[in-house]
Amino acid sequence: MATPESTGPAGLEGAAAGGGERVFDGPTRAFFAVALLFSASVALASLLPEGSALSVGPLKVSVLGKYLCLATLALSVDLVWGYMGILSLGHGAFFALGGYAFGMYLMRHIGDRGVYVSELPDFMVFIGWDRLPWYWLGTDVFAYAVFLAVAAPGLLALAFGWTAFRSRVSGVYFSIISQALTYALMLAFFLNSLGFGGNNGFTDFKEILGFGINTRGMATCLFAASALLMLLFYWCCRVIAVSRLGLAVRAVRDNEDRVRFAGYRVERVKLSVFTLSAMAAGLAGALYVPQTGIINPNSFSPLFSIEVVICVALGGRGRLYGAVIGAFLVNWLKTTLTGLMPDAWLFVYGLLFVVVTVFLPQGVAGIVERMAAPFAGRQKGGRRGAEAGA
């Protein structure tokens, strides 16, 4: 890994010219190997007959697919927080916007199979609307819905980030206003007059591209798409990390004033990475909604964004694979404990945050790295010996 000194303004050009890290370093290769093996195993097991001992049912496949979507969201937070040093407490808003954008497509394809047997979504008929609002036009087209799931959170991040970074808002102040953003959106989406289902949101989805949404095949396809998105975004984050942009990002994290004094446009660096992370979060939200079967204003809850930050902290920020580990671990605990002890889950959440802060400042990834250090040392020693013998 590059040191703070090598990523500072003075060493930025030299580090970029020297090549620095590789995209597929040891930890990245190990992560991709494990992720691909896991994804292929689940996908194949989901296609086995239901009576088979190795079969994985559609419900479990959907749960694992949701974990992958949340892992992508955690990666987007880690890119901003772990690499750029900006703690965003509002990334759940971008995730929810992507979910609502694709949810509009799903609602348009319910058609006359709804409660009111109308081409309009049921909630519009219920509140007395007789036609679609202008911003719903075109949402029955799959490609446009996917585009909207990326563009809506991207444009919001671009506008919000441009305003905040241009005003040099940083630190705890940025965290507070990002949390205020998601809270404001939550209150807005509770309004029936906004045209997004009010407090009930969107649900009762029927199909995607003409295929039933509640089938084993669709569950497998959505899981595979979620795994592919997570791996592609992980690779994208690694490309950024080893590029000149990544060096600039880490230099901003280590000493923003020096980077600005050296002539770099800090606002542009921050804005580009922040917007990219929001777009990835929106696409993850779009895949999350058909697997969970519902989207409502609670997805904008500030608590949800804080949960994602805890996932990154628990896994180990600034490592990427740590964010994925944290997302799977926290959400598995949440799924398990809310079924066994519903009232105790929030206390466990608080305890996790305290334990990580006090005893595991590097997260689970730090433990993994300490365990792998002796093996890495042996490999380096072996390579040096081979080079010396040659």
| pLDDT at residue number 342 | 75
User: What pLDDT, on a 0 to 100 scale, did the predictor assign at position 149?
Assistant: 96
Of 84, 144, 136, 82, the closest CA to residue 107 belongs to 136
DSSP label at residue 120: S
Give every CB contact of residue 280 below 8 A, 6+ residues apart in sequence. 72, 75, 76, 229, 233, 236
What pLDDT score was predicted for residue 282? 97
The neighbour count for residue 297, using CB atoms within 10 Å, is: 22
**pLDDT at residue 4, as a whole number:** 40
Nearest to 274 by CA among 295, 245, 302, 242: 245
pLDDT tens, position by position, for the chain (390 residues)? 344 444 444 445 444 444 457 888 878 899 999 999 999 999 999 888 887 878 888 899 999 999 999 999 999 999 999 999 999 999 999 999 999 999 999 999 987 787 887 888 888 988 888 889 999 999 999 999 999 999 999 999 999 999 999 998 888 999 999 999 999 999 999 999 899 999 999 998 999 998 999 889 999 999 999 999 999 999 999 999 999 888 899 999 888 888 888 888 899 999 999 999 999 999 999 999 999 999 999 999 998 999 999 899 888 888 899 999 999 999 998 888 877 777 777 787 778 778 777 877 788 877 777 776 676 655 555 555 544 445
Query: What is the distance of C-alpha 344 from the center of its chain?
Result: 26
Q: What are residue 208's phi and psi, to 5 degrees?
A: -130, 120
pTM: 0.89
